[in-house]
Amino acid sequence: MTDLSPDLAHHSALDARMVKAVKGIKLLGLVSWPASAQKRFLDEAAQGRYALPVVEYPKYDFGEARRELDAIAREADPDHPLGHYLCDSARSWSIAAALLEALGTPAVTAHSIELFGRPDEPLPGNGPTTREAARHFIDIADELDRELLAPSECVAISATALQLQLQAALDDFFDKRVIEVVLDPDLIAKAAAGATRIRLRHGAAFSDYDRHQLIEHEAFVHSLTALNGREQPHLPSLALSSPRATATQEGLAVFAEQITGSIDIERMKRISLRIEAVAMALGGADFLQVFHYFRDAGQSDADSFTSAQRVFRGVPTTGGAAFTKDTVYLRGLISVHTFFRWALRHNKLLLCRRLFAGKMTLGDVQRFEPLFDSGVLVPPRWLPRWIVRANGLAGMLAFSLFANRIRLDAVAQGEDFLDL
C-alpha cells in the first residue's frame, strides 16, 4: 500500500467519513414505488378504469448526515484533486438527502434538476438540446421498417431463462461466482444492478438485445465500477453510486452497449421517450397523460406504467413535477463518446480504462491522473473485453473522428452515391 503524504492522508480520512455519512442515502431505492402500486393500477386498467396512482412516502431526516457532509466539504481543499472530488461529492450527496426529505412534494423537482439536469439543456459543444436529440431518435425508430427485424429480436426470453444465461456468462467472465443474478417479484424495473447482485423482475419477458444490454450495461459497467471501487485502499467512496457520477455512469454504460453492438434502435427510442416524458411532466402533464404517451408509442400497459413511474418517482402524480434522472442517458452518452474521441486524439486512452477504477466523473478521471500514476489510486482489477482490446477501440474511435467531418446535409441527393 502506498504511503500517503499528510495532505493525501487528510483527504483519505475525509473520504472515509463521507462513506459513513451517506450510508442511509439510497436515492434510487428510496424514491422507487412498491410493486403493489403497479399491480393495483394494472388491475384497474384491465377493467378500463384509470386513476392517478397514490404513493405514500416515509418521512426522512438526514440532518445529521447533511451537517457531516457540510463539514467534510469545509475541511477539504478544493484546489487538491481529492479535495475537489470530496467537495463536489459531499455537495451532491447533500442535495440527494434534501431530495429524500422532500419526497412526495413538488420540491423534489428542483433538487432533481440540480443533480441530473433537465431536457431543455444543450448537449456538450453547444449542440441541440437533450430533448431535440431524443426526438431525433424517436423519429428514426418510427421510420424503421419492422420487416427488417431479425427473428431472434421477436422471441421473448423468460426471466428464469435469462437468469441462467446471465449467471453462466458472468461466472465465465470472473472464473468464479462474484455477481449473483436473482429474480425479484417486487422489482418494478425490469432489471437493477449492484456490486455483487443483479436483480431481474420475476415474470418479465426479455429480448435477445435485452440480454446483451444487461451484460454490457449493468454487469460490465455498473457492477464492475462498484467492484473496482471497492479495491481502492484510499478512496473507498469510489464504490458508491454518487449522484454526481450518474451522467458519466449511464453514459459509459450506454456507450458500452453501442460499441459492442448490443444497443438497438428500440432501446434508443425507449431512452428518448423517457426524456420527452420528463419534459411533458415538467410542462404540466400528469401520470395518466404520460402513461398514455408511452402506450401510444407502442409500449404495453405494464411497460408504460414502468416508464411513467420512472418520471414520477418521489413527486406528485398530478403534473408539473418530475424526477429528471432519465435526462442523463443521452447527455452522458454524448459526453462519454466525445471524451473517448478526445482521449484518442491526445494519446490518453489509458484514462478511458481508468474510468472503470470506480464510479467517477469525466472530470475526476482527468484530475486523478497523477494519483493513478503515483499509485495512490489503483487501476481497475476487472475490465470489459471491449476496452481491453485497445486496437479495436482505437479503430472505431479513429473512424468516428473522421466520419464526423462529413456533413450529411451537404450530400445533396441520394443518387450522388451511385457514382461511388
One-letter-per-residue 3-state SS of 92-108:
HHHHHHHHHHCCCCCHH
Judge whether 180 and 196 are in contact, CB under 8 Å: yes
pLDDT for the residue numbered 418: 47
Answer for the pair 203, 306: CB distance below 8 angstroms, yes or no: no
Look at the chain and report how many structural domains it folds into. 1
Block residue for cell numbers 478511458: 352
The Cα–Cα gap between 255 and 216 comes to: 9
Residue 412 to residue 407: CA distance in whole angstroms: 10
Task: Say if CB 275 and CB 134 are below 8 A apart.
Answer: yes
> Given this model, what pLDDT does residue 229 score?
98
Domain that holds residue 246: 26-61+102-406
- pLDDT averages per 10-residue partition of the chain, 420 residues: 86 98 96 93 94 95 98 97 98 98 98 97 86 92 66 77 96 96 91 92 89 94 97 97 96 94 88 97 98 95 95 97 97 93 90 97 97 96 90 76 63 51
Q: Classify residue 414: in a domain, yes or no.
A: no
- Give CA–CA dist 41/31, Å, rounded: 18
- Domain membership of residue 89 (yes or no) is no
- Give Cβ neighbours of residue 258 (< 8 Å, ≥ 6 apart): 333, 337
In a domain, 205, yes or no: yes
Whole-number pLDDT of residue 209: 87
Could you tell me if residue 96 is inside a domain?
no
Confidence (pLDDT) at 1: 54
State the pLDDT at residue 399. 75
Nine-digit cell at 287?
Answer: 401520470
- CA distances for 102 relative to 93, 111, 314, 408, angstroms: 14, 9, 8, 47
pLDDT of amino acid 420: 47
Residue 173 CA to its chain's centroid (Å): 22
Give how far Cα 1 sits from Cα of 5, 270, 389, Å. Answer: 13, 45, 29
**Residue 396: per-residue pLDDT:** 75
Q: What is the pLDDT of residue 416?
A: 54
pTM exceeds 0.85:
yes
